[in-house]
Amino acid sequence: MTIEKKLISKKKPFYPISKKLENFLRQHDRWIEDVISYDDLLRYSDSINIYDKNNKDTLWVRLLYNESERNEIDKNLKIIYTLLHSDGNSSSIQYLNIDSVDYCTFGNSKPFRVKIRNIVNDNFTYFYVKKTDASRVYGIEFEHMLSPRNLNFLVNNSSLVEEHIAGIPGDIFIKDYLPKCSEYQKSQIAKEYVKFNERCMIRLLGDMRSYNYVVIPIHDFDQVIYKIRAIDFDQQSYEGKFSVYRPQFFKENKPMMDLVKDKLKTDSIIQYKIEERSTISRRLIISDDRMKQLISIMKEDTISSADKVENLKNEIYKFTNEDSFIKSKSMGELMEKTLDYLKRNYQNVSLIDLI
């Protein structure tokens, strides 16, 4: 079963940061004063299409700036990097070089990708500059608190800076790597996909088509295992269709679903869902005060339209038969009810929950 593209809004608006959310971000060292903005990076003079090793257009372009613009942009991007990774310690700036600034022409957020290199040892990494969007900020915070890995970012009223999440893009993994995996590895990937699917549904992270998550190979003794991690948080608690928050329904993920059906029995699927729900419940306990504070702010915030909230709460009610969802008036209240429901019912997986 797949989900139609029309269920994803063609143009999602960018929601501003409320004063309460700003105070939360300042409290947790996420806020950054203006150094360089998204709009500053748009001052390029020319661009070159970027092609992959198979000469296919990647939909990214490499930007060229005139000399005066380039010097200023390079300096400020280095400052951003030190703020992101070393709390603004400037001692390393002299050893940094901005190798490239790329711009994505595809999708809603149209991010900039900055490649930065240490000239002493040639190590490099990336970070991304995007337009500020409150729903994305909530998404990254939920990822930080509820997923297996932390996530670093900086934000102000105009721009959002995200660290790079390393891994193989899901669409590329499915096409080029999955066919070469052993049967054991395919079983392990199926298990991880069930957990990833469950995690996205519980925290209302939408649009996890294959190019919006990465597959991460990890060497474990004499074998390679795989983890799955979201990389795009644009659709946090925005769409009104519950199916959008369940990666299993996107046609791009059909090969992963085929793995699950082929490799896992019903009892195993139930077990892995319970494991993931239990793990998230424990993370909620660890991040209790911070999560309660964020949810309280989100309940008063507007990050979607009233009709989407209305539709989503009705669909979740049909899924759970839990009356509390019907009373929700915002996406923040739906998140609160979802997490409360999880804490009370994490061991109860019914047949309707199964992939």
pLDDT digits (tens, 9 = 90+) for 248-298: 999 999 999 999 999 999 999 999 999 999 999 999 999 999 999 999 999
User: How many CA atoms does the CB half-sphere of 69 hold within 13 Å?
Assistant: 13
Q: What are phi and psi of 129, to 5 degrees?
A: -120, 125
Strands 46-51 and 213-220: unpaired
What are the DSSP calls for 55-101, one per residue?
S-EEEEEEEE--HHHHHHHHHHHHHHHHHHHHTT-GGGGGGEEEEEE
Q: Where are the alpha helices (DSSP H) in the chain?
A: 19-27, 67-86, 134-146, 170-172, 183-202, 254-263, 266-286, 288-299, 306-320, 331-345
Q: Would you state the pLDDT for residue 10?
A: 67
pLDDT tens digit string along 175-195?
A: 999 999 999 999 999 999 999
138 closest CA partner among 271, 260, 283, 16:
16
Q: Which two tokens mark 288?
A: 């209790």
Q: Which two tokens mark 177?
A: 């790597």
259 closest CA partner among 147, 171, 206, 181:
181
Q: Would you state the pLDDT for residue 1?
A: 47
Rounded alpha-carbon distances, angstroms, from residue 114 to 40, 86, 208, 271:
13, 17, 23, 41
Tell me which residue has tokens 């424990």.
282
Q: Would you state the pLDDT for residue 219?
A: 92
Q: Would you state the pLDDT for residue 99?
A: 97
239 closest CA partner among 3, 12, 23, 2:
12
Q: Going by C-beta distance under 8 Å and a sequence separation of 6 or more, which residues neighbour residue 35?
A: 76, 79, 80, 83
What is the residue-level pLDDT of the chain in tens, covering all 355 positions?
Answer: 444 455 566 689 999 999 999 999 999 999 998 899 999 999 999 999 999 888 999 999 999 999 989 999 999 999 999 999 988 788 889 999 999 999 998 877 899 999 999 999 999 999 999 999 999 999 999 999 999 888 999 999 999 999 999 999 999 999 999 999 999 999 999 999 999 999 999 999 999 999 999 999 999 888 899 999 999 999 999 999 999 999 999 999 999 999 999 999 999 999 999 999 999 999 999 999 999 999 999 999 999 999 999 999 999 999 888 999 999 999 999 999 999 999 887 667 654 455 5
Rounded alpha-carbon distances, angstroms, from residue 9 to 46, 104, 160:
31, 19, 22
Q: Would you state the pLDDT for residue 183?
A: 96
Contact predicate 154/227, CB 8 Å: no
Q: Would you state the pLDDT for residue 285?
A: 92
pTM: 0.92
